[in-house]
Structures are given as C-alpha cells and as structure tokens.
Amino acid sequence: MSHQITQDQEERLVQAALAGLSRSYAPYSHFHVSAALLCGDGTIYTGNNIENAAYSATVCAERCAFFQAVGAGKRDFAAIAVCGGRDGAAEDFCPPCGVCRQVMREFCGPDFRILLAKENGEQRSYTLAELLPESFGPDNLG
Ligand code: THU
C-alpha cells in the first residue's frame, strides 16, 4: 500500500529517531544508530542498535524498530527515519545496511520512504525501490 506522509509526520518521525539515539547499546563499536518507523495507522515504533559481546548477535536499529512493530501486530508501514554516528553524534547520514533493507522489503512496497537525518536538520529521502532495486521478496516465492 502506498502512503502520503505529511510534513508534520515527517518531522515527528525524524525527532523520534534523533531522540532514540540515547537508547543505543553500542559498547563495542561506539556507533549509535536509531530508527523511528511510521505505521500506516499513524503510530510510531522506535528501535536502536543493540550490540552483543558475540558480535554477530548484534541487531541494527532499523530491524529493532520493525520487530517491535511487527511483534505488536503491525503489518502496514509508511516510512522510517534513520540517524546515527560515532558516540551518538548524527553528523553524517547513516544509510540502512543491506540486511535491514531486505527486512523492509519483507513488509513494505517499493514506495516505502526512507528518511536519513542529521542532527543539524539536513535530510535525504529515498524510496525502498531506490535503495534495493531488483530485489527478492515474498512474491518471488509464489
Ligand atoms: N548499524 C545499525 O544499527 N543499522 C545499520 O543499518 C548499520 C549498522 C549498527 C550495527 C552496529 O551496532 C553498529 O551500527 C556498527 O556497525
């Protein structure tokens, strides 16, 4: 399903992502990431990266947000805002990793919006189709 996102929703989403940086658990990389996911019904779920001493058990912020939302029964998503940086300073854009893009692909259509935000107010906006072209998804399994 395609969604129209208002300016107000976009601003609230970015603010929620920036505010969530303080909840990042990143004692190994010291790279803090936060995400805020806007559901089709207007609700917002946040997530932050959660690292682990066994490094591969680490979960990214974006997947944390998706799993919180999907675990609460949400299946329809409009947009996600992502920010991050060393020691929680969102001075550069922090694009989602490939695994997180694939998790988005599981639940979202090609027009799903991905907003990258910096703490100085700069933003970039992409669709999922732009960040994950020629993708493999549930429809490929028939
Ligand atoms: N990280 C995320 O949370 N999201 C991404 O899309 C990229 C990377 C986290 C994982 C790890 O805790 C830290 O950033 C450094 O890779």
Q: What six digits make up the tokens of 118?
A: 């910096």
Whether 79 is covered by a domain: the verdict is: yes
CB 33 less than 6 A from any atom of ligand 1: yes
Selection from 130, 79, 138 nearest residue 106 by Cα: 138
- The confidence score (pLDDT) of residue 82 equals 99
Distance 60 CA to ligand 1 centre (A): 5
Q: Read off the pLDDT of each residue in 84-90 and give the average, rounded to a whole number.
A: 98
Model pLDDT for residues 39-61, shown as the tens digit of each residue: 999 999 999 999 999 999 999 99
Has residue 1 got a pLDDT over 80?
no
Domain that includes residue 45, residue range: 7-141
Q: What is the pLDDT of residue 11?
A: 98
- The CB of 49 under 6 Å from ligand 1? The reply is yes
CATH number for the domain that contains residue 46:
3.40.140.10
36 in a structural domain: yes
Cα→Cα distances 80→65, 100, 113, Å: 9, 11, 6
Q: Which amino acid is at 103?
A: V
Q: Which atom of ligand 1 is nearest to the CA of 28?
A: 12
Average pLDDT, integer, range 56-78: 98
Please check whether residue 28 lies inside any domain of the structure: yes
pLDDT in tens, 15-43: 999 999 999 999 999 999 999 999 999 99
Is 91 within the bounds of a domain? yes
The rounded distance, in Å, linking the Cα atoms of 63 and 99 is: 9
Question: CA 96 → CA 109, 131, 140, 141, distances in Å?
Answer: 16, 9, 23, 25
Q: Please tell me which residue in 10, 62, 119, 134 is annotated as part of the active site.
A: 62
The confidence score (pLDDT) of residue 105 equals 98
- Rounded CA-CA distance 2/64 in Å is 23
Query: Does ligand 1 come within 6 angstroms of the Cβ of 24?
Result: no
* Number of domains comprising the chain: 1
122 is catalytic: no
Q: Is the CB of 58 under 6 A from ligand 1?
A: yes
CA nearest 116: which of 93, 139, 137? 93
What does the pLDDT read at residue 2? Answer: 80
Does residue 2 fall inside a structural domain? no
